[in-house]
Amino acid sequence: MHFSGVFPILATPFDHDEGLDLDSFRRSIEFMIEIGVDGITVLGILGEANRLVDRERNALITAAVETSSGRIPVIAGSTHHGTRATVELCREAAACGASAVMITPSREPTPSDDQIVEYVSMVAEVTALPLILQDHPASTQVHMSVPLISRIIESVPNVVCLKEEAPPVPPRISALLPTLRKNQVTLLTALGGLYGAFELERGSDGFMTGFAFPEVLLAMTKAAREGDMNRVYAIYTRFLPLIVFEQQPGLAIRKEIYRLRACFRGNRVRHPGATIDPPAAKQLAGVLERVLPGVDITRPIPV
């Protein structure tokens, strides 16, 4: 398993009652496989993992593993407050058949660098699965320095991939790559693809993010691998208004796109998160029409 390429963070579909809609979930996974992604990540922040109870977590991992049935790896976000609870979630993820787990340190209690290294090491010790380390201070309120991340990479061999999303990301990529390469650790970026071209230019290995048109990120990643930065920028520029619009805070827009792409039956976000309102849906429709005029988005789009 090599964590380079495009690994969408899946949204979690809910019915009108905010219960899990596993049919929609499975449909979105089939669609991702059809699109040709390199793997999928469930239970990220964008999957509203923080608004799910454990039973729901397991149902989603299980559904993802069954649906993908070995065609692509399934990564399970498994962060919890405290090391032991993270370990428990990693075990559950493994028991449900996940291929890898993604973890990130928590702000409580205010962690020292040593405690963060311990956290990752202790989870790694009891988890047979490969680890993806997530660096997303916007959600964790934990700011990891480049030396700290390097130290983790050097000392915890299970960490096979860094999900780097602490802006400004491009200089961090340049600062981290030597250590990552030396340790055969890949670097994926996120933030909805907002800085995608700049990140690929710096040497990132692809994306693990929730942008609802992974076709775009796949094409950019492929062009970058072929050294064709002109094509990377051309694709990026063409889709950037949609990328920018889609990565606005909240999940309403993304879930509406999943609905428009015929993956999800509904677009419900769990309260107190906001579901899309008609003016925003109309504005989104306008953006889609401008960026993808006449394209059937219920099918993989040509890029």
Residues at the contact surface with a copy of itself, assessed by CB under 8 A: 18, 48, 50-56, 80-85, 88-89, 92, 108-113, 115, 118-119, 122, 137, 139, 143, 145, 167-168, 170-171, 174, 194-195, 197-198, 201-202, 233, 236-238, 240-241, 244-245, 248-250, 270-274, 277, 279-280, 283, 286-287, 290
- Residue (49 or 72) nearer to a copy of itself, CB: 49
Q: State the minimum distance, in angstroms, from the CB of residue 44 to a copy of itself.
A: 14
- Our CB check for a copy of itself shows the closer of 73 and 193 to be 193
CA angle 68, 43, 221 (to 5 degrees): 65
- Report the nearest approach of a copy of itself to the CB of residue 3 (Å): 24
263/33 Cα distance (integer angstroms): 12
Nearest approach, Cβ of residue 213 and a copy of itself (Å): 16
Q: What are phi and psi of 127, to 5 degrees?
A: -115, 120
Nearer to a copy of itself, 161 or 200 (CB): 200
Q: Which is nearer to a copy of itself, 53 or 128 (CB)?
A: 53
Q: Which is nearer to a copy of itself, 68 or 209 (CB)?
A: 209
Sign, CA dihedral 290-303-174-102, equals: positive
CB of 105 to a copy of itself, least distance (A): 8
CB 244 within 8 A of CB 199: no
Buried b (16+ CB within 10 A) or exposed e, 234-268: bbbeebbebbebbbeeebbbbbbbbbbbebbbbbb
- CB of 50 or CB of 155, closer to a copy of itself: 50
- Report in angstroms how near the CB of residue 204 gets to a copy of itself at its nearest: 13
Residue tagged 């993956």 (tokens): 263
Residue 163 per-residue DSSP state: E
- Token digits of residue 257: 């796109």
Residue 196 C-beta-side C-alpha neighbours within 13 Å: 35
Q: What is the DSSP letter of 231?
A: H
Q: How far is the CB of 57 from a copy of itself (least distance, A)?
A: 9
